[in-house]
Structure 1
């Protein structure tokens, strides 16, 4: 497994991130534990989750599955860089109780204690703000985070789904108060969705944040969806089903699959490998439901893409171009 540094922090992480969103809703506890063991054995040390994963009445279930895995011992916790998130409403049955969501100091304090209990650990390596909270000032957010850092309950803070200007604002305010600020941004970024290249990734790079792309296969669209459809193997849900109704998107995906077939490459592995060539990217989040999906993702780390192939991929899925020169004013 290849490793890199997470932004400007001294944290060394694998170039793939094990996403756990499917643990609980689609993958049972025993299978989830097997996937985490296999990932750790392969050197994948970066695990990402969120307090709301499990969803609905099962919110928190994913963190519980990770916690029971840590409880098995064997150095699992010490070998793992653990990331979770705060923002979503965690009140029972989804009741919208005041102060049970967002980024107020009181909810951050409540949420981190609950996550630590579910995760069966005494600290979180990377505590991420799942979304921006416009009404709550960053002065309050950072004050709460600094208390948790001093208590040893979290080590670093990161963002998720932040626009570029919020990354800048968060770090400027943290800097004025002597804090380290954000060290990472988790954003939607893949071959078919490259808008992050306009502002989010430039802001992240300027402020020394590592970029952690989520949905690297764009809801399955980049995972060989047309070939699977022809073979009767495609799942009929997710973003890919509706996206393929767009003629232009279908043509792009067909050209993508044809190109990779010509080179003897797997679409999903190529999409992950492409992200690993992008400036500023720490590693994409993969969310395997099965051991076979994990094995495929691990192969992508060793895949080398030629300059000719990268140029062809740019032709099929052109990005917005360099910023700010390519902005449409």
Structure 2
């Protein structure tokens, strides 16, 4: 496994991030533990979750509980893991009416959410605490006041953002600098070969402020994971079950690009999904993509991507199939 610093911090993390959103809804507790053990054995030390994960399986917080029961097995599992979780979503108990102050980024909800996550995770600290979405109603001064207290209490070590625009990152870290706070150290954003808008502002802002970029949905919901091949073979996948790529292949232009992409992977003897992950690992500012395996075999495939070294001609061909917006600020004007 290869490691890198998380943004401007001294924290070393693996180039592959284990995403846990499937733990609970799609992958049972025992299999989730098996996947986490396999990831740790392979050197993956960066695990990502969120307080609301499990909610689409009908149980908010269930994913954190599964991770907590894995930590409880001992064997140095917690000490070896860089743990990232998030808050923002409404955490009113399942089946009950949503109640004010059970969501967003007020100081009250941040404090409440951290304590609840610590209990579910069975740990006394969180390495990276992330804001799952922008809160348009809470000022950054209030957010940083809450985070500074939690850092002083030893409950969290670093703060990160997710789904923030470039100007949000700027606003957050300029406010932090004025307060003498450390500010954001990472941004978790939608970024992959087929969705490159982050290159226009988010990634340049992250690089300017020393944030590590953690791409989510690196296969665009299965679109870049051999979707057309699976379609021909009659293999059910996320592209046919309501994932991010559902319906995308109905567009002839998208279908043609995906076919060219899969043909290119075949030409170089590569699995499409592994090629997409390996491409992200070549991108400036990227710490590591989040992979969300439902099985141990899917984890093994993701791990192989770290070992791939894509030649320049292949990278050029990928840019031709999925051209990015170009460098900023030229992409906006001239």
Q: Report the TM range for the smaller structure's normalisation.
A: over 0.9
What is the aligned partner in structure 2 of residue 141 from structure 1?
Answer: 143
Alpha-carbon separation, structure 2, partners of 1:241 and 1:150: 45
What is the aligned partner in structure 2 of residue 181 from structure 1?
Answer: 183
What is the aligned partner in structure 1 of residue 221 from structure 2?
Answer: 219
Give unpaired runs (5+ residues) of structure 2.
none
What is the aligned partner in structure 2 of residue 26 from structure 1?
Answer: 26
1:247 shift after superposition: 1.0
Q: How does 1:162-311 map to 2 (within 5 A)?
A: 162-235=164-237, 236-237=240-241, 238-311=243-316
What is the aligned partner in structure 1 of residue 89 from structure 2?
Answer: 88
CA contact (8 A) 1:86 1:102 kept: yes
CA contact (8 A) 1:225 1:240 kept: no
CA contact (8 A) 1:225 1:234 kept: no
What is the aligned partner in structure 2 of residue 38 from structure 1?
Answer: 38
What is the aligned partner in structure 2 of residue 9 from structure 1?
Answer: 9
Alpha-carbon separation, structure 2, partners of 1:315 and 1:220: 20
Question: More displaced, 192-201 or 258-267?
Answer: 258-267
What is the aligned partner in structure 1 of residue 324 from structure 2?
Answer: 319
The 3-state SS of whatever aligns with 1:82 is strand
Q: How does 1:93-104 map to 2 (within 5 A)?
A: 93=94, 95-104=97-106
TM-score, normalized by length of structure 2?
Answer: 0.97
TM-score, normalized by length of structure 1?
Answer: 0.99
Alpha-carbon separation, structure 1, partners of 2:33 and 2:141: 39
Question: More displaced, 275-284 or 255-264?
Answer: 255-264
The 3-state SS of whatever aligns with 1:219 is helix
Task: Count residues in correspondence.
Answer: 329
The 3-state SS of whatever aligns with 1:274 is helix
Alpha-carbon separation, structure 2, partners of 1:215 and 1:172: 29
Alpha-carbon separation, structure 2, partners of 1:152 and 1:111: 15
Question: More displaced, 206-215 or 236-245?
Answer: 236-245
Alpha-carbon separation, structure 2, partners of 1:29 and 1:146: 34
Alpha-carbon separation, structure 2, partners of 1:125 and 1:290: 26
1:178 shift after superposition: 0.5
What is the aligned partner in structure 1 of residue 65 from structure 2?
Answer: 64
Deviations 1:8-47 (A, max 9, x none): 0110000000000000000000000000000000000000
1:327 shift after superposition: 1.2
1:328 shift after superposition: 5.1
CA contact (8 A) 1:164 1:203 kept: yes
1:325 shift after superposition: 0.5
Deviations 1:203-234 (A, max 9, x none): 00000000000000000000000001100113
Alpha-carbon separation, structure 2, partners of 1:148 and 1:223: 40
Give unpaired runs (5+ residues) of structure 1.
none
1:92 shift after superposition: 1.0
The 3-state SS of whatever aligns with 1:37 is helix
The 3-state SS of whatever aligns with 1:32 is helix
User: How big is the alpha-carbon RMSD for the aligned residues of Structure 1 and Structure 2?
Assistant: 0.9
